[in-house]
Chain A
Amino acid sequence: MTPLLTVDNLRVTFPRATGPSTPVDGVSFSIDRGERVALVGESGSGKSLTCLALLRLIPHPGVIAAGSSIRLDGTDVMTLEGEALRAIRGGRIGLVFQDPMTSLNPVLTVGYQVQEAVTAHRSMSRAEARDRTVALLEEVGIPDPADRAGAYPHQLSGGLRQRIMIAIALAGEPDLLVADEPTTALDVTIQAQILELLDRIRTRRNMAVLLITHDLGVVAGRTDRVMVMYAGQLIETAPTPRLFAAPAHPYTQALLQSMPRLTGPLNRLASIGGSVPEPTAWPSGCRFHPRCARRIGPCAAEVPPWREAGPAQEGRCWLIEGQAP
């Protein structure tokens, strides 16, 4: 079976006075139908730009570099224009944004914004579109959906607003739902509700989900596979249980160690020294080497190749002793 989405050597560049910056630099992955994948990384690692690139929505003046390939169900997304490209946006890939307050238009009712997403992808009568809108609002758990459709974003709570964003993302019946840190801007109590909602909808609709997060705690038990991103590149990919049990890359290990735990002795929380480098000047060799506690001879000079670290687990580190995949 061919994967639903195949991304190959994706590079996003921004022209800068000092030379081009490359916040996404050679990312390749694929997602199967119905698969739940997490993309994990710190702020500035390029994960948000990666998901915007899937819809060819890189903000001006950024561009997706030549040689990048995005294929959705056999269609080459990179060559699409106009109508065909819009059919992908929302129609095949739905996008849930981080902050529902700023992602909803403040002067249009939420019902209007859901409904225009419905009619953007199939033509139907106004009454039909209205019914469909109310059904979507109901599906994402909005009480009194017919009533709330007339509300403006500022009249709803953060949790309800994010539910609206999810309804909009679902409106075009997408095969892949991309959720870019869907709970970061929400209260902790609401976060779990939204994640549960996403789980329920995924099960019911059996679509693939790409969950983007910087929080490994969100990933466990919710996804089949995790991809770890660092400095514009993927550095490890593994089945979720495997990643938690035996992380192969020192960066992944450090990430896991910096997660606070509810059980066990109370120790000082580990953190990774330094910060993600700037995309104008990625470090040579392995991009994590300046912050890596376990770096060895070749790390600073040579880019480590992908190596098999376990069943369906691959990592990009000189310390991994497996074969090339």
Chain B
Amino acid sequence: MTRWLLRRLLDTLATFLLVAVLVFVLMRIAPGDPLDRLSDDRPMAPAEQARLRALFGLDQPLGTQFLQFAGAAVRGDFGASIEYYPTRVTELVASRLGPSLLLGATVLLINLFAGVWLGVLQARRRGSRLDRWLTRLSLAGYAAPSFWLGWMLVSIFAIEWRLLPAAQMTDPMLPPNAGCLAQAADVGAHLILPALTLTIISLAATMRYQRSAMLEVLRLDFVLAARARGLSERRVIWRHAWRNALFPILTLLGLWLPVLVTGAVFVEQVFNWPGLGSLTAGAVMTRDYPVLMATALLVAAAVLLSGVLTDLAHRLLDPRSRDQ
């Protein structure tokens, strides 16, 4: 097990380095660079351009640039943002990570509980009216474009009914000396609409996966055998059937874990949510190389690590794979 984990982590590290090189090179051979954008508003003198290039190290050969970047990055220094100069990239990313984690974790937890529960319910009532309606509703949500759905929810709940805030994560009018509880309530209110949008879009996948995994398991002999020994229905469903039907869900959650850190670009844009998604989207527009590099590597790390975590969870939860 430990050997397996070590080898898996080494593999992951190698992949990560490969991704780092690829992203770095691709970004620089793509047309346009940060200085184009800076000279959008006013023409820049050649001397000034040269000075800025030297400041950000853009005048060096590609290889040197990468080595300089990598050397600093392993020490946790990703340089300064070009767009928000002289703010450090790490500072910028750290300030956006919290909101992304909050939104992502909320949606993930809702999926984990509501999605799994509804999927199991559907499997138990397979073919019933409830099953058919849950399928229709969840697929309708899945099919809705996120920016459109976000706007619909904003115009209904925020603009028409004035029940919830339309954008941002906090109310700028909230006095800074407001109590902890009031601040939490404020963030919570701002969280509802973006979280709802993302949930509506993602819940269908969890439900469908869980439903079919559960249907698959419910017709197996050991479920019948569990009933035959007089166990309660709850125990049969959750301890015996679901325990075997959670593996596909584990895989699905593994695919979603990265969204926790990467943020949901469209939804963050619609709700002006100060997360990593909107930071990355902005950095792409302005070719803010240092910020792009940091977010791209963060995404790569998140994707690779959740792959390792998913495999690890599979191994821990399935005794058959443990013995292999």
* Partner-contacting stretch, out of A64-72, A102-110, A213-221: A102-110
Shortest Cβ distance from residue B26 to the other chain A in the assembled complex, whole angstroms = 43
Please report the C-alpha to C-alpha distance between residue A152 and residue B244 in the assembled complex, in whole angstroms. 14
A104 touches B243 (CB 8 A): no
Q: Given A59-B224, A97-B221, A105-B244, verify A89-B229 contact (CB < 8 Å).
A: yes
**Shortest Cβ gap from B279 to chain A (Å):** 42
Contact of B229 among A52, A108, A116, A155 (CB under 8 A): A116
Q: Do A105 and B230 touch (CB < 8 A)?
A: no
> How near does chain A come to B231, taking the closest CB pair, in angstroms?
5
- Give A86 to B219 CA distance when docked, in angstroms: 19
A154 to chain B, nearest CB (A): 5
Q: Which residues of A contact B243 (CB under 8 A)?
A: 105, 107-108
Q: Is the CB of A107 within 8 A of B318?
A: yes
The size of the chain A interface, using a CB distance under 8 A, is 33
Tell me how far the C-beta of A27 lies from the nearest C-beta in chain B, rounded to whole angstroms. 19
Q: A159 in the interface, Cβ–Cβ < 8 Å?
A: no
The answer, among A87, A102, A107, for a CB contact under 8 Å with B230, is A87
A86/B228 contact (C-beta < 8 A), A107-B244, A107-B317, A108-B240 known: no
| A95 interface residue (CB < 8 Å to B) | yes
Bound Cα distance A284, B31 (Å): 83
Within 8 A of A (CB), among B11-64: none
Cβ contacts under 8 Å, A59 to chain B: 219, 224
User: Does B222 contact A89, Cβ atoms closer than 8 Å?
Assistant: no
Contact B222 A105 (CB under 8 A): yes
Docked-complex contact B227 and A168, CB < 8 angstroms = no
B225 surroundings in chain A (CB, below 8 A): 95, 97, 103-104, 165, 168
17 contacts between A and B (CB under 8 A): A59-B219, A87-B230, A90-B228, A90-B229, A103-B225, A105-B222, A105-B244, A107-B243, A107-B244, A107-B320, A108-B239, A108-B240, A120-B229, A155-B319, A168-B225, A168-B229, A172-B229
**Given A52-B224, A91-B230, A155-B323, 5 more contacts at CB 8 Å?**
A103-B221, A106-B320, A107-B243, A107-B318, A154-B319
